[in-house]
């Protein structure tokens, strides 16, 4: 398990680095794209088509991905043959995905239909087919995540760059009226690049052609791995409501909002989700893979308990302690990041939007939406980590409970949408707030599972009363130490910010809000016509914005200093260990 922990941390670092490089380059290209295309085309492509393709692919492959990641390795032979054929399930489901596309086009297309929409939708549908054909190779990288994760993410990073460049180039050669087709060509280029890259990374993956000649193997004469199939189906049932909740705000904007509203919302999501895609997504993915190894360790300690398959198995104490330590680190990171997003980041959404895209966008609904989205990111980050643990470790009984809870979350989300967007007329900002309610409820459920899981497995690891104990079973034994470490890691105080850190960020937030008020009075008020102050030239605007950003940077550094001061003992231990390792290497 220690090796898995190191692999998970290594994968997290490589994923974040690769995501930062590729996303920043794509971010720069998107600035050119936003200046070259209309809000209508950008909104339809980002809110409707991207959400649709993501939803179809999610339903078809998300369950099998989770099941393969948490499945224990199998040897060659009949078991290996069934496992390889199981990897072909998403490809076998591709006709159903295309039927879903046809239904969406007939019943959910925007009204009126934008120019080039039929051709663009066809390109998106073909890209869905290509990604499902390449899915067996993706699943192969999940099964060997310790060695293939970095390579796979490189492929995805390259594909994102290809998509951005292709979209931008096509936009330059078509009229603004036909700009929508550029997004379809870019999506097709992305899928084709992913297919080619995954085939190169995982040449041992089963060929999609073999889906036409499936064979029954083993004494059960089955086509697929039954255990993986059952887990995949349980995860898929839960993910149906989960996906609706995750993308509910986009569905609502696409269904009830105008094309202009979709454009403003799309721009806000494009900037606001940058952190989510660069930091949260790779961290969540690597964490899910690591937590899945905990589930595999649980199975390896069970000597075939088939009578009660829903029974929660207990992994080794060393695995539990390692997992608790890793969970503490990611939760500590998320809770400190939340202070930045709650108290500092909202003060800089409008200035950055104005700096990058000008008043064309900073005076639209994109500005308040982006501000609200920044404050919703802590909910997104915590929900991603806690649900990653739940999906990787939960047994079928808990997965069933989770599906029921998702239904309740769906009702809460719908009610929150009505209250915020309709009753209080908050528009798209209300959708963001409703999504925060949804993520809070989902996080509460998965957190409850984490607490009960560790309480149960640690209690099961306690020596029974009346058992004969020898000298190795005293308070200083390895088992007792591991139990103590696990409980200490999960203590609330170990992963929440200190009072010093919270106070420092509250002070920083106050200073940043005062600075934002000065910036708004100098830059935005003349544009809104609410003052007689003269318009600032570009140089004066840049100076005012730079001054405001400087205040934020100073407050951010002050906050980081308070974090370092609060965790000085841990930092000293880490630095001491690194120094010792460095000295050993020199010797």
Report residue 304's pLDDT band, with 50, 70 and 90 as the boundaries.
Answer: very low
Q: How far is CA 279 from CA 5, 330, 384, 423, 548, in A?
A: 19, 11, 11, 35, 25
Instruction: Report residue 547 CA to chain centroid gap.
Output: 33
CA distance 393 to 387: 10
Round to whole Å and give the CA distance between 494 and 496.
6
Q: Is a pLDDT exceeding 70 seen at residue 531?
A: no
Q: What is the SS3 assignment for 222?
A: strand
CA–CA separation, 584 and 6 (whole Å): 20
- What confidence category does residue 146 fall into, taking pLDDT thresholds of 50, 70 and 90? low
CA 558 remoteness from chain centre: 29
**Predicted pLDDT of residue 532:** 56
pLDDT of residue 359 exceeding 60, the answer is: yes
**pLDDT band, residue 311 (cuts 50/70/90):** very low
Report residue 101 CA to chain centroid gap: 25
Q: Would you place residue 472 in the very low, low, confident or very high pLDDT band (cuts 50, 70, 90)?
A: very low
What's the rounded Cα separation, in Å, for the pair 140 and 205? 6
Q: Among 40-49, 86-95, 210-219, 414-423, whose mean pLDDT is lowest?
A: 210-219
453-464 per-position pLDDT tens digit:
999 888 876 665
Question: Which residues, 6+ apart, have CB-to-CB distance to 441 below 8 Å?
Answer: 405, 408, 409, 412
Average pLDDT of span 409-416: 91
Which tens digit of pLDDT belongs to each residue from 258-277? 566 677 778 877 787 777 77
Q: CA–CA separation, 87 vs 136, rounded Å?
A: 5
Q: What's the average model confidence in pLDDT over 311-340? A: 86
pLDDT at 530 over 80: no
Contact (Cβ atoms closer than 8 angstroms) between residue 128 and residue 105: no
Provide the token pair at 254: 């696409």
Helical H runs in 202-247?
A: 226-246
Q: Which long-range contacts link 15-20 to residues 24+ away (Cβ below 8 Å)?
A: 15/149, 15/150, 15/153, 15/282, 15/283, 15/285, 15/286, 16/278, 16/279, 16/282, 16/283, 18/150, 18/153, 18/154, 18/157, 18/282, 19/153, 19/157, 19/277, 19/278, 19/279, 19/281, 19/282, 20/278
Average pLDDT, integer, range 62-67? 89
Rounded CA-CA distance 410/413 in Å is: 5
Mean pLDDT in the chain?
A: 82
- What are the structure tokens assigned to 211, written together? 């889906």
Confidence of residue 78 (pLDDT cuts 50, 70, 90): low
Name the least confident of 37-46, 275-284, 562-571: 37-46
Q: Which pLDDT does position 12 carry in this prediction?
A: 58
Close Cβ partners of 19 (under 8 Å, ≥ 6 residues apart): 153, 157, 277, 278, 279, 281, 282
What are the sequence ranges of the domains in the chain? 1-18+247-300+315-462+478-496, 37-235, 499-581
CA distances from 524 to 105, 481, 530 (A): 42, 59, 9
């Amino acid at each position: 398990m220690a090796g898995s922990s190191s692999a998970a941390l290594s994968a997290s670092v490589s994923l974040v680095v690769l995501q930062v490089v590729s996303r920043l380059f794509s971010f720069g290209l998107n600035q050119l794209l936003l200046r070259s295309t209309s809000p209508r085309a950008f909104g339809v492509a980002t809110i409707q088509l991207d959400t649709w393709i993501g939803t179809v692919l999610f339903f078809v492959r998300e369950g099998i991905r989770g099941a393969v990641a948490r499945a224990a390795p199998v040897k060659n032979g009949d078991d290996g043959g069934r496992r390889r054929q199981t990897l072909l399930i998403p490809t076998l489901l591709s006709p159903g995905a295309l039927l879903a596309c046809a239904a969406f086009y007939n019943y959910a297309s925007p009204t009126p239909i934008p120019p080039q929409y039929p051709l663009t939708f066809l390109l998106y549908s073909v890209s869905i087919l290509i990604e499902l054909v390449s899915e067996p190779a993706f699943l192969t990288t999940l099964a060997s995540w310790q060695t293939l994760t970095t390579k796979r993410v490189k492929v995805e990073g390259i594909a994102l760059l290809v998509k951005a460049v292709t979209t931008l180039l096509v936009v330059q050669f078509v009229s603004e009226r036909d700009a929508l087709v550029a997004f379809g060509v870019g999506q097709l280029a992305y899928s084709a690049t992913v297919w080619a890259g995954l085939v190169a990374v995982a040449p041992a993956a089963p060929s999609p052609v073999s889906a036409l000649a499936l064979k029954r193997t083993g004494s059960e004469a089955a086509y697929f791995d039954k255990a993986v199939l059952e887990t995949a189906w349980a995860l898929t049932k839960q993910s149906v409501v989960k996906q609706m909740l995750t993308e509910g705000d986009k569905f609502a904007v696409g269904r009830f909002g105008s094309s202009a509203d979709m454009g403003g919302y799309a721009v806000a999501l494009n900037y606001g989700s940058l952190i989510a895609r660069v930091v949260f997504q790779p961290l969540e993915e690597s964490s899910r893979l690591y937590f899945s190894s905990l589930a595999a360790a649980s199975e390896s300690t069970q000597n075939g308990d088939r009578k009660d398959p829903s029974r929660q198995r207990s992994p080794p104490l060393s695995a539990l302690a390692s997992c608790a330590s890793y969970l503490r680190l990611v939760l500590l990171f998320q809770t400190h990041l939340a202070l930045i997003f709650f108290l500092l980041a909202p003060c800089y959404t409008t200035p950055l939007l104005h700096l990058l895209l000008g008043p064309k966008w900073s005076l639209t609904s994109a500005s308040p939406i982006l501000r609200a989205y920044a404050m919703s990111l802590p909910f997104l980050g915590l929900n991603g980590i806690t649900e990653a643990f739940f999906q990787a470790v939960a047994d079928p009984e808990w997965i069933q409970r989770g599906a029921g809870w998702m239904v309740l979350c769906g009702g809460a989300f719908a009610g929150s949408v009505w209250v915020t967007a309709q009753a209080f007329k908050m528009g798209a900002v209300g959708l963001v707030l409703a999504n925060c309610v949804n993520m809070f409820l989902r996080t509460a459920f998965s957190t409850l599972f984490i607490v009960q899981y560790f309480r149960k497995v640690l209690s099961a690891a306690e020596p029974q009363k009346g058992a004969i104990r020898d000298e190795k079973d005293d308070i200083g034994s390895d088992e007792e130490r591991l139990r103590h470490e696990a409980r200490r890691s999960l203590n609330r105080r170990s992963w929440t910010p200190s009072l010093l850190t919270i106070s420092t960020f509250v002070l920083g937030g106050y200073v940043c809000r005062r600075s934002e008020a000065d910036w708004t009075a100098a830059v935005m008020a003349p544009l809104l016509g609410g003052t007689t102050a003269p318009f600032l030239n570009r140089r004066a605007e840049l100076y005012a914005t730079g001054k405001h950003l400087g205040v934020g940077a100073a407050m951010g550094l002050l906050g980081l200093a308070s974090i370092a001061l609060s965790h000085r003992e841990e930092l000293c231990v880490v630095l001491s260990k690194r120094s010792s390792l460095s000295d050993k290497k020199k010797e």
